Structure 1
Amino acid sequence: MSTATAHDIPFFPPDLFDADLDTLLEVVHATGTGAAQKFILGEHTARLERVLRDRLDAADVVACSSGTSALTLVLAAMDVGPGDEVVVPAFGCAPLAATVIARGATPVFADVDPVTMTMDPDAAEKAVTGRTRALMPAHVFSVMADMPRFGELASLYGLRLVEDSALAQGGTLAGRPAGMWGDAGVYSFVQVKTFGMPGEGGVVVTGDAELAVRARMLRNHGQDGQHRFLHHQVGYNSRFDEVMAAFQLHRWEGFEARLARRAEISAYYSRRFAPLVENGITAPPVGGDGRCHYVYTLLTERREELRSYLAARGVATHVYYPRTLPAQPGFAAHAPAHGRWPGAESAARRNVSLPLYPHLSDAQVEHVADTVCAFAEESAR
């Protein structure tokens, strides 16, 4: 990679869609002036679902209003509700707990591996009780959860397996795409995700055609799509926007190239950072199976010092999930009063993420890596 000078490198880039703005305006105009006047769940949405279904070799893909909504639709399609328990990671995004609680069920928090930050299968197994209905592991940052092991646990205990793959679109493990390991998975299209867009949206992906039928009905107030105002059950307003569907179809052609660039940047970071473990900075491994290059995250006890050092040199960083889920005020009532989740607590205390997006230049990437390495060297003196 080329020699870098100092840069101002944002963590959340403001220009993610600059190259596609003309197309976005054209799509808005075409949808708004089209004879069909179809703004939700039209042919663009159906085509996007088909494109993703064929890519995944899934039974079906159901587009909906967000990744969070996709998890809710999956749980609802499985009839998870009051009296049920769902085992979820103690570290991760709020929807892991919130969607379970919204269904009237109880999230049971299992600890995570302190390095991968994904749910520990052994801890998850210990959390299973006679009330457990499902396991809900989540892929985190750039590493997929141990889905083969969770599949074994689900079979052993007769549980449903919900794969929170919201951030892992494009990742594979043992040749199987993220999202296709459980009864159902989800993707999020929020702008910074690997297939992000300038709006909210997501999909349910599944190999279970019957579950997909139920999710499709639930996303539109319990209607079946054939008979308007015939509500087979209580559903949700979780419909997909036609403008965004058309825009995503436009961007689909470049998806593989953007994934490849993310992987290239991640691999460069990891090669540069591998020796820093001796200085108390742990980086993800170079390449390997089960990687999904959404966010590049380091672990260090000197997080705030590293962030300040990087910021002074023009590199913005971000801390995801600085609290464990059981420690969140909204979820604390659903956790044991004196429970401990040491892996999750370590992850919440130590994680810090670096800029990772496809249009980072080689010079910018090298500047980020140089700055992290310089911090480690100075700290070791």
Structure 2
Amino acid sequence: MTATATQDIPFFPPDLFDDDRDTLLRVLYETGTDPSQKFILGARTAELERALAERTGTDTVACSSGTSALTLVLTALGIGPGDEVVVPAFGCAPLASTVIARGARPVFVDVHPTALTMDPAAAEAALTERTRALMPAHVFSTMADMPAFRALADRHGLRLVEDSALAQGGTLAGRPAGTWGDAGVYSFVQVKTFGMPGEGGAVLTSDPSLASAVRMLRNHGQDGVHRFLHHRIGHNSRFDEVMAAFQLHRLGGLDQRLERRARISAYYSARFADLADAGITAPPVGGDGRCHYVYTLLAERRDALRAHLAAHGVATHVYYPRTLPAQPAFAPHAAPGGPWPRAASAARRTISLPLYPHLSDARVEHIADAVCAFARSPQEGNP
């Protein structure tokens, strides 16, 4: 990394797809003028599904978003009123909202203190006779302990839904993120590792009957052969043909972009490895089960660090400043006074730094320098 200071570094870059603009215009024209006039769930979507299936070794069903993917999976699994689904107390809202939308109850459990993913031991302690499924989620840059969750689900006869919306490209014990559960999900929203200029997602499963059910559910309960024959109550969760063509174009460069994200993350972690005494905890450098969607620190004086970085031209972001049980929408569904201390600590301390493939070396070093300067400053850095 070079030592040229650069400021005004956005957290959400406005130029994510600048290099692909001509391609986007081309596929828009080609799709719009295609004699088939098929704008959703056409040949391009099928081709994208095949390409993703080849990467993961699963049946892949493209749908309208990561949230919709979770909804389709829970519906296909028959999760409904009276059922309980064990979810982490720290994470994105769909972990709870999709369960509640099915009439089921999310059972919130605490997370690992540094990985911030759902704790398998806490999950097992929360099981009841009503538990139907476990729904761990990969968070920021670390996959959940999927071998432990797979064993737990098998031991208790539960379904395992893997929320890998943030983790496409990650692997654990040689298995891609999204392939450990009965089903996994991806999200293609623009800032994700396989993001696109719109909404989209996918369901991954090795269960043919589950894949068939998800395909039917995404298109109003139709089977894809007989139009206007609705076999069950479904959803509108169809994939756009323009976006399918665009993602097929971007898929070829995905591994290179993931590698760049990993190198930036490794540089950050190497620079921040000795900052614990200043109240800053960084993810480890590399290792199995890492994914590099967002680079997140735990900072005892988060607000002061955010202000310091902003003064040095570095935009940051705080994901999930409240635990899920503390959200007004979900509090009525949570156990009163539930013990989620590690989730609460994470919500108080997380701060995410810019991480995207075209972030220059100079900017990466400037960001790291600014964090380290904060940690070295007795006035600012001491917790």
Query: Does the alignment reach a TM-score above 0.5?
Result: yes
Write the letter of the residue equivalent to 2:367. Answer: V
- Partner Cα separation in structure 2 for residue 83 and residue 333 of structure 1: 16
- Partner Cα separation in structure 1 for residue 99 and residue 52 of structure 2: 26
Write the letter of the residue equivalent to 1:54. Answer: E
Q: Moved runs in structure 1, 4+ residues, more than 6 A?
A: none
- Of stretches 175-184 and 27-36 in structure 1, the one that deviates more from structure 2 is 27-36
- Partner Cα separation in structure 2 for residue 360 and residue 42 of structure 1: 35
The answer to whether the aligner puts 1:118 opposite 2:112 as a matched pair is no
- Partner Cα separation in structure 2 for residue 23 and residue 111 of structure 1: 44
Q: Secondary structure at the match of 1:205?
A: strand
Q: What is the aligned partner in structure 2 of residue 128 from structure 1?
A: 127
Q: Summarize the alignment of residues 186-197 of structure 1 with structure 2, pairs less than 5 Å apart.
A: 186-197=185-196
Q: Secondary structure at the match of 2:90?
A: coil
Kindly indicate whether the alpha-carbon contact (under 8 Å) linking 2:6 and 2:362 is maintained by their aligned counterparts in 1. no
Q: What is the aligned partner in structure 1 of residue 214 from structure 2?
A: 215
Q: What is the aligned partner in structure 1 of residue 170 from structure 2?
A: 171
Kindly indicate whether the alpha-carbon contact (under 8 Å) linking 2:188 and 2:196 is maintained by their aligned counterparts in 1. yes
CA RMSD of aligned residues (A): 0.8
Kindly indicate whether the alpha-carbon contact (under 8 Å) linking 2:161 and 2:184 is maintained by their aligned counterparts in 1. yes
Unaligned runs of 5+ in 1: none
Deviation (angstroms), 1:235: 0.4
Q: Secondary structure at the match of 2:219?
A: coil
The answer to whether the aligner puts 1:232 opposite 2:248 as a matched pair is no
The answer to whether the aligner puts 1:321 opposite 2:316 as a matched pair is no
Q: Summarize the alignment of residues 137-176 of structure 1 with structure 2, pairs less than 5 Å apart.
A: 137-176=136-175
Q: What is the aligned partner in structure 2 of residue 53 from structure 1?
A: 53
- Partner Cα separation in structure 2 for residue 91 and residue 207 of structure 1: 28
Kindly indicate whether the alpha-carbon contact (under 8 Å) linking 2:5 and 2:365 is maintained by their aligned counterparts in 1. no
Deviation (angstroms), 1:338: 1.9
- Partner Cα separation in structure 2 for residue 224 and residue 256 of structure 1: 34
Kindly indicate whether the alpha-carbon contact (under 8 Å) linking 1:6 and 1:313 is maintained by their aligned counterparts in 2. no
Q: What is the aligned partner in structure 2 of residue 8 from structure 1?
A: 8
Write the letter of the residue equivalent to 2:5. Answer: T
Q: What is the aligned partner in structure 2 of residue 40 from structure 1?
A: 40
- Partner Cα separation in structure 2 for residue 29 and residue 75 of structure 1: 36
- Partner Cα separation in structure 2 for residue 227 and residue 294 of structure 1: 40
Per-residue CA distance 1:51-106 (angstroms, 9 max, x = gap): 00011111x10000000000000001100000100000000000000000001100
The answer to whether the aligner puts 1:252 opposite 2:251 as a matched pair is yes
The answer to whether the aligner puts 1:291 opposite 2:290 as a matched pair is yes
Per-residue CA distance 1:274-308 (angstroms, 9 max, x = gap): 00112110000000000000000000110000000
Unaligned runs of 5+ in 2: none
Write the letter of the residue equivalent to 1:344. Answer: A
Q: Secondary structure at the match of 2:50?
A: helix
Give TM-score scaled by structure 2 length. 0.98
- Partner Cα separation in structure 2 for residue 173 and residue 367 of structure 1: 31
Write the letter of the residue equivalent to 1:53. Answer: A
Give TM-score scaled by structure 1 length. 0.99
Deviation (angstroms), 1:208: 1.0
Write the letter of the residue equivalent to 1:50. Answer: R
Deviation (angstroms), 1:6: 3.1
Deviation (angstroms), 1:264: 0.3
Matched residue count: 380
Identity rate of aligned residues, in percent?
A: 75
